[in-house]
Amino acid sequence: MVKSKLRTVRGTLLVPDPIRRTLAKQDDVVIDIDADGTIRSIDDADAHPSVPPTWPGTVILPGFVDTHIHFPQTRILGSASGPLLDWLQEAVFPEEARFAELRYARSVAAQFCEAMLRQGTTSAGIFSSSHPGATDELFVALDDWGLRAQAGLTLMNRGAPADVLLATEPALEAAEALIARWHGHDRDRLRFCVTPRFALSCDHALMRGAADLAERHGLFVQTHLSENDEELRQTAAAFPDHADYLAVYEDYGFVGKRSIFAHCIHLSDSEWQRMAQARAGVAHCPDSNFFLGSGCMPLARALGHGARVGLGTDMGAGRTFSLQRVASAAYDATLVRGEAVSDGETVTPESLLWLATRGGAVALGFGDRVGCLAPGYEADLVAIDVPEDLPDDRLYDALLFRHDTAAVRATVVRGRLCWSREAPATGP
């Protein structure tokens, strides 16, 4: 639960460049945070001798941004049930059906929020189930735990068992009610996001209604795109008049700077060019992609096209809530593809940490307020243990790959300490 407000934080920072995929280290500084949670100044610690280091032995980054995660899959994380469409039928839909019950949804929502904060995630793009009540419970928990989010009722009216489907009219009515209650809540910390599960799960009327909702309220749209071979085959068969998968979403006006597409593994060059031109966001979810055997997204190629990329756990197909582990998996995925350096783009631990923080903030539409540490940005922070005696030039490697020792010590959203392993040191 949300605890104390921090007004000063002292430590060593890793500060993402707002544009370029680099980080700058600032040794021993003091962040001054105003009552609203906005960073007022960052000064050398020498100017503040009475402020002790807040979390000694850590390095402080902007909070991690999980651009793609499924709230109702919290309790089936790591269910090995084969490739995407089989896994949905066998593991996912039976569990998501349980979210018809409010009490169940409420208890999982608390577990879900704590699990994200424990791994240093401060913002997320979240799929709920198709149940309006469960989605409301999700927003209540996000509000209570202090997280920042784009979250939405998952829209699906075909291609799944009846107990996880919701017909067009009640789905759109429920979305309107959730928008009225939650969109823009707490100075825009929580946003309602239009969330069609994927093209195969929504008929034309629901897609049209979703597009209308997004346009009228100026909402983000999040969905899945080009994840698995069989899904591609079925999508092509269901939409024979469209040139490719992306064209289906383009047809509904979903592809723009307020959209985020998870996976994007099998896109053609033409699709990548159109994604980049539209400034659409990409949620790269390599751990999930390994677990379901979906393939490896060509990260360097995507960046070469100018795509806006963030990282996503895609928990429950992803086996972790940790963006550090996802960044590590993204490194592995580039090695598997043999393209760690490609199209003039180099994928390094440093650039992956940038994607896990700044890149995700931009992709989710929060880039004007988080994903950086500088005056005017809101103080979303994560403090991570630095292994002892680590040479400076191995810091990024340690944050990505030393899972046993580079652990999250504390997570702060808008200046509020939302989770910590221990009480922080405070000034006099």
Contact between 100 and 67 (Cβ < 8 Å):
no
- Binding mask 258-287 toward Zn ion (x if CB under 5 A, else -) reads ----x-------------------------
Stretch that binds Zn ion, among 22-30, 165-173, 306-314, 364-372 (CB under 5 A): 306-314
Distance CA 357, CA 148 (A): 13
Beta pairing, strands 408-413 & 416-420: antiparallel
Could you tell me which stretch among 118-126, 232-240, 314-322, 346-354 binds Zn ion (CB under 5 A)?
314-322
CA distances from 239 to 1, 224, 245, 272 (A): 46, 16, 8, 20
Alpha-carbon distance of 177 to 172, in angstroms, equals 9
Indicate the residue among 97 and 315 with the shorter CB distance to Zn ion: 315
- What sign results for the dihedral spanned by CA atoms 72, 383, 23, 40? positive
Q: Does 95 bind Zn ion (CB under 5 A)?
A: no
Least Å from the CB of residue 283 to Zn ion: 8
Here's the x/- map for Zn ion, 318-357, by CB under 5 A: it reads as: ----------------------------------------
Query: Is 146 in contact with 110 (CB distance < 8 Å)?
Result: no
Q: CB of 314: closest distance to Zn ion in angstroms?
A: 5
What's the first-to-final CA gap in the chain, in angstroms?
Answer: 25
Instruction: Give me 88's structure tokens.
Output: 């949905």
In the complex, the smallest distance separating the C-beta of residue 227 from Zn ion, rounded to whole angstroms, is: 8
Query: CB under 5 A: which stretch of 118-126, 131-139, 169-177, 308-316 binds Zn ion?
Result: 308-316
Instruction: Give the binding-site size for Zn ion (rule: CB under 5 A).
Output: 2
Cβ neighbourhood burial of 164 (10 Å; 0-12, 13-18, 19+): buried
Is residue 314 close enough to count as binding Zn ion by CB under 5 A? yes
Q: Which stretch binds Zn ion (CB under 5 A): 307-315, 339-347, 357-365, 418-426?
A: 307-315
The token pair at 371 is 């994903």
Q: How near is the Cβ of 68 to Zn ion at its closest, in Å?
A: 6
Which residue is associated with the tokens 């000034």?
427
- C-alpha span between 56 and 125 (Å, rounded): 31
Q: Which is nearer to Zn ion, 42 or 165 (CB)?
A: 165
Closest approach of Cβ 17 to Zn ion, in Å? 29
* 203 touches 158 (CB < 8 A): yes
Q: Quote the least distance from Cβ 392 to Zn ion, whole Å.
A: 37
Query: Applying CB under 5 A, which part among 12-20, 33-41, 98-106, 311-319 lies near Zn ion?
Result: 311-319
- Tell me which residues touch Zn ion (CB under 5 A): 262, 314
